Chains A and B, each alone.
Chain A
Amino acid sequence: AQSVAQPEDQVNVAEGNPLTVKCTYSVSGNPYLFWYVQYPNRGLQFLLKYITGDNLVKGSYGFEAEFNKSQTSFHLKKPSALVSDSALYFCAVRDGRGSTLGRLYFGRGTQLTVWP
């Protein structure tokens, strides 16, 4: 069965410092992995995805994520955090074995707070 774990409910970081939001996954077959961000009272916005290829993927707003197959992880990173990055972040996984349904399995979310 597909599942995603985000081990930290909250991450706090000072502006200008690097940030990491952790995600581990379990999936049958090759994973398709995603990060989404949600600002207060808004829908989810797509940040980046890993489908195949280079293990380091770059996305919107200066975010990047590293796919690590041996550790089944897909951590979200940013070299220098901004106060405006404060939001709720969701990791999601999709089974890549040819399913056309496009169903995603989401983690519980990590609240990122960047303080000035």
Chain B
Amino acid sequence: DVKVTQSSRYLVKRTGEKVFLECVQDMDHENMFWYRQDPGLGLRLIYFSYDVKMKEKGDIPEGYSVSREKKERFSLILESASTNQTSMYLCASITRQGKSYEQYFGPGTRLTVT
């Protein structure tokens, strides 16, 4: 089974702090994604990566950056956390090989910025 893990289930940070959210997948997937989920808005794509050291902006990249130094790990960074970044953050991965097509999701990190 594909496994996508996220470093924290719940996180509380203060405004202005630098925040790191880590995501690791164990199935050698090439592509990885970071979403945020807010009630009534569904999932919105923040950033994605299709290879080590490669990144592409999604729909809402402002206030975020990402890092992919190893194939299995994709980090989301909040440079200076703000209260409007309080949200559920979901990581996902997908392989470019074969015919599976579906993304596999981690359990999510619920971040509260106070």
Interface residue ranges, A against B (CB under 8 Å): 9, 32, 34, 36, 41-46, 49, 51, 90, 94, 100-104, 106-109
Contact residue among A32, A101, A106, A107 (Cβ-Cβ distance under 8 Å from B50)? A101
**How many A-B contacts are there with CB distance less than 8 Å?**
54
Q: Which residues of A contact B31 (CB under 8 A)?
A: 100-102
By beta carbon, the residue of chain B nearest A9 is: B40
Contact residue among B42, B45, B102 (Cβ-Cβ distance under 8 Å from A34)? B102
Complex-state Cα separation, A29 to B42, whole angstroms: 24
Are A103 and B107 in contact, with the CB atoms below 8 A?
A: no
Complex-state Cα separation, A22 to B16, whole angstroms: 41
Looking at the assembled complex, report how far the CB atom of A26 sits from the nearest CB atom of chain B, in whole angstroms. Answer: 15
Between A and B, 11 residue pairs with Cβ closer than 8 Å are A34-B102, A36-B105, A41-B108, A41-B110, A44-B92, A46-B103, A51-B99, A101-B48, A101-B56, A102-B96, A108-B41
Contact residue among A9, A32, A36 (Cβ-Cβ distance under 8 Å from B101)? A32
Interface bin, chain B: 20 to 34
Interface residue ranges, B against A (CB under 8 Å): 4, 9, 31, 33, 40-43, 45, 48, 50, 56, 90, 92, 94, 96, 99, 101-108, 110
Complex-state Cα separation, A41 to B88, whole angstroms: 9
Complex-state Cα separation, A70 to B110, whole angstroms: 39
Looking at the assembled complex, report how far the CB atom of A116 sits from the nearest CB atom of chain B, in whole angstroms. Answer: 25
Are B107 and A102 in contact, with the CB atoms below 8 A?
A: no
By beta carbon, the residue of chain A nearest B40 is: A108
Are B45 and A103 in contact, with the CB atoms below 8 A?
A: yes
Complex-state Cα separation, A49 to B42, whole angstroms: 19
Q: 7 closest pairs, A vs B, by CB?
A: A43-B105, A108-B42, A102-B94, A44-B105, A106-B43, A43-B107, A100-B96
